[in-house]
Chains A and B, each alone.
Chain A
Amino acid sequence: MTAVLAPSTTQSHSKQALAVHFSGLGRSFGPADNRRVVLRDVSVQVEPGEILAILGTSGCGKSTLLRAAAGLDVPDSGEVLIDGTPVAGIDERCAVAFQEPRLLPWHTLQANVAIGLPKSSSASAGKAKVLELLKLVGLDTFAKHRPREVSGGMAQRTSLARALARNPGVLLLDEPFGALDALTRIKMQDLLLDIHSAQPTTVLLVTHDVDEALQLADRILVLGRNDDGQDGSTVAELVPVPGARPRNRNSTELGALRSSLLSMLGVTGH
């Protein structure tokens, strides 16, 4: 896969992986008299080219954190710096694969992926890249289909391809493999790693799946409440994952980390 990918993509764009710095990020929702703190004082420094997995219970603010990085949401306090400059408004340097596929129903899968292409790309190079990406996510035979004619998992893979088409400095993935069966999920995880090693990009990967985080990430960020009893999620844990990829799922080191992550997420006895 890497061989297929490397020549055309690295030639056409030479974007750098960019550092992401969350600095004292806070976000609340709701009316003034009933404000709910979702994120509180989140500070993380993500290195260029790093894969950071973000874990946390449902509703803890993972998507909100990604939206702040993409410039789709404005935090109440703190800021996000990409490559040292603050995010203000929708940020060209990021590409998002949303938690839902969010494909345009009136476009083919091919046209949907093409929306992700950077503005600078030429028509022919763009088309070739779109077809290549569709092939990589296993949808080349469905290029001319409409989103409603494909399954949820296929739509999600299309959404992933759209984000990859951007060739971004920062790739923001919100549970990109959530709707996939176990086998496709493993294929797509491998694909992500291939793409990541073929072209430099920083990846923030939100996931519910501890094992996925252990397989893919350089570090794992657990969003959750702190011991101090205040409302809102913050950095509950930020741990490096030991070992080089691909990692042996059964290693004792990973097993220990898995148990401690699971217990942090409120699951015990595994």
Chain B
Amino acid sequence: MSAEYATPVSKEGLEATGSAITSASAASRGSRPGGTAGRRAGIILLGLIVPALILLAWHLSTASGFFRPSQLPSPASVLAAAVDLIERGQLATHILISTQRVILGFLIGSLLGVLAGALLGLSRLADVLLTPTVGALRAVPSLAWVPLLVLWIGINEDSKVTLITIGAFFPVFTTLYLGLRHVDRNLVEAARAFGVNGVRLLTTVQLPAVVPALFSGLRLALAQSWLFLVAAELIASSMGLGFLLTDSQQTGRVDRIILAIILLAVIGKITDALLGIAERWAVRRWA
């Protein structure tokens, strides 16, 4: 990690960020005064102030020599580490394989969570029969499954995706199950009084009523998926951001560790924001 080539890059980087912020905010103010799109852009920009300040403090604390590079490398050297990994063609692989694992595990886990939550939330019999068991399974700290998964499935994609599936399952299951339990009885009764029942009752009353709960469950599940991804990759893998973390720890590359952490934060935030957009749409439509 050489501070010599790092400093100029960092200055450029910061200036670029700063000018991007000012020009974007000026554009938003100029083109749509008081419009909702402009306001949303403004809110996003306000949210970027603190990260920009953190970046600045980070830069200053490393440039002033307050932290040694082996403790906390400068932003520039982290950027350099990223460029280095990109040039080796490794960064994209790490990111893609991790994202793929998360998306697969999240999709399978939430699908199973929706099915189980709907079954136990709607059927009295299934509820009485299965809820104690599911409750006990949920009480198992999910990482306790790791040794079993490794023995049964082996150290491969399947065991990692399975672990993420377990992590994504419970938030979706729990929120949907509880949501269905608490659907306004008066509304259900009113619909039934007009001859709505069975599947039609489910689609016209019960499911729409739990859409907000379902989406908060999905967002929790997505966060859990990233959590479990790192757990899975820390334990055994040869690719992915979790692997980048353990590997860099062994080789003492703090810059790469910080790079991996920043990437996890940014990608996690992006996927959450995408889900948030879907949520806003669904809530506007259904609630």
Contact = CB atoms under 8 A, between A and B. Distances in A.
Contacts of A236: none
A166 interface: yes
A101 to B, nearest CB: 9
Interface string A228-239: 000000000000
Contact of A70 (B187, B193, B196): B193
A27 B189 CA distance: 19
Interface string A86-104: 0000101011101010101
A140 B285 CA distance: 21
A106 B287 contact: yes
A96 B189 CA distance: 11
A166 B194 CA distance: 8
Given A105-B287, A106-B208, A106-B285, A98 B190 contact: yes
B192 A115 contact: no
A62 interface: no
Interface in B159-188: 186-187
B186 A95 contact: no
Chain B interface secondary structure, helix, strand, loop or mixed?
A: helix
Contacts of B189: 72, 102
B186 A102 contact: yes
A143 B73 CA distance: 62
Given A104-B204, A106-B287, A115-B204, A90 B186 contact: no
A252 B194 CA distance: 42
Contacts of B286: 106
A107 B195 CA distance: 17
Nearest to A166: B194
Contacts of A166: 194
A19 to B, nearest CB: 21
Interface in A79-126: 90, 92, 94-96, 98, 100, 102, 104-107, 115-116, 119
A102 B187 contact: yes
B287 A102 contact: no
B257 interface: no
Contacts of A72: 189, 193
Chain A interface secondary structure, helix, strand, loop or mixed?
A: loop
A39 B287 CA distance: 38
Contacts of B187: 102, 104
- Give the most central of B189, B211, B285: most A CB within 10 Å: B189
Interface string B187-211: 1011111111000000011001101
Interface in A111-147: 115-116, 119
B205 A104 contact: yes
Nearest to A96: B193
A157 interface: no
A105 B191 CA distance: 12
Interface string A70-81: 101000000000
B208 A104 contact: yes
Nearest to B190: A102
B285 A115 contact: no
Contacts of A107: 204
Contact of A115 (B186, B194, B209, B211): B194
A100 B189 CA distance: 12
A100 B187 CA distance: 10
A162 interface: yes
A258 B211 CA distance: 50
Contact of A98 (B186, B195, B204, B285): B186
Contact of B194 (A100, A105, A106, A162): A162
A113 to B, nearest CB: 10
Nearest to B191: A115
B274 to A, nearest CB: 23
Nearest to B197: A90
Nearest to A116: B194
A169 B188 CA distance: 23
Interface string B253-287: 00000000000000000000000000000000111
B79 to A, nearest CB: 47
A90 B208 CA distance: 23
B190 A90 contact: no
Given A72-B189, A102-B187, A102-B190, A115 B196 contact: yes
A118 B189 CA distance: 17
Contacts of B208: 104, 106
Interface string A21-44: 000000000000000000000000
A72 B196 CA distance: 13
6 contacts: A72-B193, A94-B193, A102-B189, A107-B204, A115-B204, A116-B194
Given A90-B192, A98-B186, A107-B204, 11 more contacts: A95-B193, A96-B193, A98-B190, A102-B189, A104-B187, A106-B209, A106-B211, A106-B285, A106-B286, A115-B191, A162-B194
Please give me the 9 A-B residue pairs with the lowest Cβ-Cβ distance, nearest first: A102-B190, A106-B208, A106-B286, A115-B194, A96-B193, A102-B186, A116-B194, A90-B192, A90-B193
